[in-house]
Amino acid sequence: MSTNKWIIDPTHSEVSFKVKHLVISTVTGYFRNFEGEAHTEGEDFSGADVRFAADTDSIDTNQKDRDAHLKSADFFDAANHPRLVFSNGKLVEEDGSLVLKGELTIRETTRPVSFEVEHGGVAVDGYGQTKAGFELEGKISRKAFGLTWSAVTEAGSVVVGDEVKILASIQLVKQ
């Protein structure tokens, strides 16, 4: 059986996160620069080896001052930790569902993570390229990765929640 390499098509993919603000609303952000690949045996994605990296300096919440704060030492410390990395990823089936398990490293802290995965299928585009689509969703504790900045309002509300939802819509191109 042959091994296939698939790389992320950044023009048809996005990586976002959602976190509670003041416990009453949600802020959404994106990593604009990222890369990743999957290696499969044959055409089946079960058991695929997966890796991914995003540039922390590419964070975008559609608010310049907030983005600067997220890039600062209070959060990602992009100057000293320019990338977050998902490694040792393995796509497995659990209880009839696809799960991507691996290790996420942020600011030199590595923790095991898992993402629920929906495989959208495989198709050949108008240029003859074979592509595969996936939707991923998972949650992490930002504090577990050293992103511990916190503040409380005068009324006692937490400014930034601990739980971060990670969502990705990924299109891979077979090499």
Q: Using one digit for the tens of pLDDT, what is the confidence trace for 109-162? A: 999 999 999 999 999 999 999 999 999 999 999 999 999 888 766 666 567 889
Whether the pLDDT of residue 88 is over 90: the answer is yes
- Residue 9, pLDDT score: 97
- How big is the CA angle at 97 (ends 91 and 100), to the nearest 5 degrees? 25
Phi-psi group of 22: left, alpha or beta (phi > 0 → left; psi -120 to 50 → alpha; rest → beta): left
Helix (H, G, I), strand (E, B), or coil: what is residue 67? helix
Half-sphere exposure of 168 (CA within 13 A, CB side): 29
pLDDT single digits (tens) 103-119: 999 999 999 999 999 99
* Banded pLDDT at 35 (limits 50, 70, 90): very high
Q: Over range 73-91, report the average pLDDT.
A: 97
The contacts found for 9-13 with CB under 8 angstroms, 24 or more apart, are 9/131, 9/171, 9/172, 9/173, 10/34, 10/35, 12/131, 12/171, 13/168, 13/169, 13/170, 13/171
Domain 3-174 sits in CATH 3.30.830.10: no
Please state the pTM of the whole predicted model.
0.92
- What residue spans define the domains of the chain? 3-174
